[in-house]
């Protein structure tokens, strides 16, 4: 078992281990300093797979639960409103807490509800996907989607505890595990060559604890330095500028991780063409994405990707910040005028 301590606007532990869900009672009591009422927020898929295990682990708490339909389509203003009404109807008070039990969608919407209900109540993240364990459950970004795009409405609101029981990953479909691996590869490229080399050896699914802990430590370091995302936190967007375009142009048929896999290759190839890194970096990233069931191929045009990216929240006025590798383990942030984005994607696509 490993514990990573985050020191952002709230201090909290990220505990990573096998079969630790059954000990959730003790971890939550310690983190919340007692036994408040808990509102469990989860989706129907996670609840049918692991709901009983969670409820049995939390049987010493007074709990209520809200279950919504699995999938990104639920991360909207209507479900968010339903969660708020549910919390109010069940008399959740300012000293109570939310437990977000699920993948990124559950963590994002439950966290957003926690940050706004009664002007903010505490919440605990119990992520059930690799992507949520290594990325979205840590660092305090909460969000819902708007018609105009993903994550356009949200807050910074840190959890009180993150409990990563990696044994829960055993029920993940291969494609969903691969989605999380895209974020894992990202951490290797932005900060840790050793982690990247470990990934190229394969076998992460069988033994993920050290890899999850390493990713969480990298995220912790970045968040501790730039919680509000005004500087270095942008490094976590490596591969995501093109990825958001790919997801949207595919009508979200292409999942986030798959899009990030291709987006990292586009960013690296563009960087190599600018002379910022060697073409070997592109080859290494292609090797890693393929090894974990992802792909570098992208069927969309530079113009299409560019149009979406420029309506994304990563744009700041007339500029957009690219995350570009210098080598595996080190990336830089490069601010470019928006007019240069389309030629950059063009050079990254082939």
Query: Per the structure block, which two tokens stand in for 42?
Result: 């989860």
Other beta carbons less than 10 A from residue 91's beta carbon: 9
Applying CB under 6 A, the span of 20-28, 134-142, 143-151, 189-197 interacting with ligand GLY comes to 134-142
Q: How far apart are CA 204 and CA 200, in angstroms?
A: 10
Nearer to ligand GLY, 96 or 135 (CB): 135
| 159 forms part of the interface with ligand GLY (CB under 6 A) | no
* Residue of the chain from 135, 227, 284, 296 that contacts ligand GLY (CB under 6 A): 135
Nearer to ligand GLY, 174 or 225 (CB): 225
| 139 forms part of the interface with ligand GLY (CB under 6 A) | yes
Nearer to ligand GLY, 17 or 140 (CB): 140
Applying CB under 6 A, the span of 160-168, 190-198, 228-236, 304-312 interacting with ligand GLY comes to 228-236
| 247 forms part of the interface with ligand GLY (CB under 6 A) | no
Residues in the chain: 350
Q: How far apart are CA 263 and CA 62, in angstroms?
A: 44
Which run of H or of E encompasses 165? strand 161-165
Smallest gap from Cβ 85 to ligand GLY, in A, equals 28
Cβ 332 vs Cβ 324: under 8 Å: yes
Q: How far apart are CA 197 and CA 329, in angstroms?
A: 10
- The alpha helices in 117-173, defined as continuous H runs, are 130-131
Reference 237, options 293, 338, 313, 153; nearest CA is: 313
| 236 forms part of the interface with ligand GLY (CB under 6 A) | yes
Which residue has the CB atom at the shortest distance from ligand GLY? 236
Smallest gap from Cβ 107 to ligand GLY, in A, equals 11
Binding footprint of ligand GLY on the chain (CB under 6 A): 135, 139, 141, 229, 233, 236
């Amino acid at each position: 078992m490993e514990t990573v301590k985050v020191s952002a606007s709230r201090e909290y532990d990220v505990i990573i281990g096998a079969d630790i869900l059954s000990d959730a009672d003790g971890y939550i009591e310690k983190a919340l300093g007692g036994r408040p009422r808990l509102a469990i927020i989860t989706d129907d898929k996670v609840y049918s797979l692991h709901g009983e295990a969670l409820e049995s682990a939390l049987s010493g708490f007074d709990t209520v639960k809200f279950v919504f339909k699995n999938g990104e389509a639920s991360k909207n203003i209507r479900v968010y409103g339903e969660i708020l009404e549910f919390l109010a109807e069940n008399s959740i008070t300012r000293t109570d807490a939310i437990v977000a039990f699920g993948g990124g969608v559950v963590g994002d919407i439950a966290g957003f509800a926690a940050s706004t209900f009664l002007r903010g109540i505490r919440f605990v993240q119990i992520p059930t996907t690799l992507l949520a364990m290594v990325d979205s459950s840590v660092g305090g970004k909460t969000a819902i989607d708007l018609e105009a795009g993903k994550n356009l409405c949200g807050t910074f609101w840190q959890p009180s505890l993150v409990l990563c029981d990696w044994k829960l990953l055993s029920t993940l479909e291969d494609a969903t595990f691969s989605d999380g691996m895209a974020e894992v590869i990202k951490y290797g490229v932005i900060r840790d060559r050793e982690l990247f080399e470990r990934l190229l050896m394969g076998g992460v699914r069988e033994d993920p604890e050290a890899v999850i802990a390493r990713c969480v430590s990298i995220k912790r370091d970045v968040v501790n330095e730039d919680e509000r995302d005004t500087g270095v936190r942008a490094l976590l967007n490596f591969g995501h500028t093109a990825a958001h375009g790919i997801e949207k142009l595919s009508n979200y048929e292409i999942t986030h991780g798959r899009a990030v896999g291709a987006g990292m290759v586009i960013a690296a190839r563009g960087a190599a063409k600018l002379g910022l890194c060697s073409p070997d970096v592109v080859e290494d990233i292609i090797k890693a994405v393929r090894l974990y069931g992802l792909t570098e191929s992208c069927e969309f045009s530079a113009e299409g990707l560019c149009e979406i990216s420029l309506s994304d929240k990563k744009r700041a006025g007339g500029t957009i910040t690219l995350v570009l590798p210098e080598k595996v383990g080190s990336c830089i942030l490069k601010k470019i005028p928006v007019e240069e984005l389309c030629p950059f994607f063009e050079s990254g696509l082939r």
